[in-house]
Structure 1
Amino acid sequence: MYSLDVNFLKDRAGYQNNTSKKGQGIKLPTGDFTPVYVGLAIGLCLPTFFGGGLWLLQARTGQLDQEIAQLDQENQKLEAEIGNINKIREQTKQVQAETQGLVTVFDQIRPWSAMLQDLRDRIPATVQIETVRQLETTASAQGQSANSRAGGLEITGLARSFNDVNDFLLTLQESKFLQSATSRITSATLVDAPLPPGSNGAANSEPIKLPQVVQYTIQSSISDVPASELIRELEKKGTVGLVTRIRSIQEIGVISK
């Protein structure tokens, strides 16, 4: 006997769809693969580029570090040289200040020989000089003008008249060695003229009566004009040594001509 095995499930639509889907499998994409290759290439190249850039950056950083270290060394050398230059400048300034101080003192020298010769040239024939002395600078004069600090001069003597004393004062005011504004007569009085030595005569003879004369005192301040500006006057008065020294200093440029 034969039996029929009939599967009615295969005839159903749902079963047939499932069967057809199972038979299809996995399908690979088809078409242009260029974008994929480009993406893969970029993905492989980027690490290389980054690695190369990092290496170049590190190399450049090392080079800059070396240049900075070299510049620091040069900067230290320059600072040391600048310090030495500043020390030399300070020493030079100190020497110049000391030299200028010495020159200033030297340039204020007033040789008495020149001043006395100037008085001899200016004194009238009717005036006599008894004493000439230098007045010391007082404490009160130190706070005043430079004329007072330069010191003063006092002249005492005898003159035939008051007019002769005035004439002597006028000639002194023209002197380059004195301050004309401070030259003045401090005292002038009539006194008996002193008798010459041995003029009393015999004991029984009458004393000689001479006319009265003027006893005067003139004071003036010594000029504060530098000696380098009085070279001609000093030469006229015969002060050759001082003039030679001043001209030597002028030649080396310590003081101006």
Structure 2
Amino acid sequence: SVQPWSAILEEVRRRIPGQGVWITNISASGDTVNIQGGALDFPLVNDFLLTLLDSNFVTSAVLNSASRVEGTPETEPSVTYGLTVTIRTIGDPDPEFTRELEQRGAIGLVEKIRILRQVEGN
């Protein structure tokens, strides 16, 4: 299956709940994306997880770890977190999801899907 990585990364960026949550590392394998990062507090990590689960690109998201980091005279206390996110397999997307892909910038993938639909229809 082909994943629209530019659209997926844009979706993850859009789902970050404002200031106070950041990503330090993203890695992907197949349809799984691992995200590590930090936040100012635990509720912000929870908000990020819930907004990811609300995405049409995501089929599941699990919080693997969350740890409090003590502040120093130069830094505020914070939380480090790790998430595992399972991305929807594209396959033959419905028209609504195709529009969403297009809105997120996956124009090339949307065009490939249209061409394949035309070829299959002939």
User: Normalised by the size of structure 1, how large is the TM-score?
Assistant: 0.43
- Report the RMSD for the aligned CA atoms in angstroms: 1.9
Q: Higher Cα Rg: structure 1 or 2? A: 1
Q: Which has the higher contact order (CA 8 A, sep 6+)?
A: 2
| 2:58–2:88 contact (8 Å) kept in structure 1 | yes
Q: Which residue of 1 aligns with 2:114?
A: 247
Choose which of 69, 74, 97 in structure 2 pairs with 1:209: 74
Question: Which one-letter code corresponds to 1:175 in the other structure?
Answer: S
Instruction: Give the Å deviation of 1:227.
Output: 5.0
Choose which of 21, 27, 48 in structure 2 pairs with 1:127: 21
Give structure 1 stretches of 5+ with no counterpart: 1-107, 136-149, 194-206
Q: Which residue of 2 aligns with 1:114?
A: 7
Give structure 2 stretches of 5+ with no counterpart: none
Kindly report which structure 2 residues correspond to 1:153-232, keeping only aligned pairs within 5 A, or say none: 153-180=33-60, 183-192=61-70, 208-229=73-94, 230-232=97-99
**Which protein has the bigger strand share?**
2
Distance 1:235 1:168, change over 3 A: same
Question: Which one-letter code corresponds to 1:184 in the other structure?
Answer: V
For residues 53 and 85 of structure 2, what CA distance do their matches in structure 1 show? 9
For residues 239 and 247 of structure 1, what CA distance do their matches in structure 2 show? 13
For residues 44 and 53 of structure 2, what CA distance do their matches in structure 1 show? 14
SS of equivalent to 1:224:
coil
For residues 109 and 175 of structure 1, what CA distance do their matches in structure 2 show? 18
Instruction: Give the Å deviation of 1:223.
Output: 1.6
| 1:156–1:218 contact (8 Å) kept in structure 2 | yes
Q: How many residues align?
A: 118
Distance 1:151 1:162, change over 3 A: same
For residues 173 and 227 of structure 1, what CA distance do their matches in structure 2 show? 21
| 1:177–1:222 contact (8 Å) kept in structure 2 | yes
| 1:110–1:227 contact (8 Å) kept in structure 2 | no
User: Normalised by the size of structure 2, how large is the TM-score?
Assistant: 0.85
1:108-164 deviation per Cα after TM superposition (whole angstroms, max 9, x unaligned): 3112111100011111122101111014xxxxxxxxxxxxxx531110001111000
SS of equivalent to 1:235:
helix
Instruction: Give the Å deviation of 1:250.
Output: 1.2
SS of equivalent to 1:252:
helix
Distance 1:162 1:123, change over 3 A: same
Given the alignment of the two structures, is residue 237 of structure 1 paired with residue 104 of structure 2, yes or no?
Answer: yes
Instruction: Give the Å deviation of 1:225.
Output: 4.5
SS of equivalent to 2:85:
strand
| 2:33–2:85 contact (8 Å) kept in structure 1 | yes
For residues 252 and 227 of structure 1, what CA distance do their matches in structure 2 show? 13
- Give me the identity figure in percent: 36
| 1:157–1:217 contact (8 Å) kept in structure 2 | yes
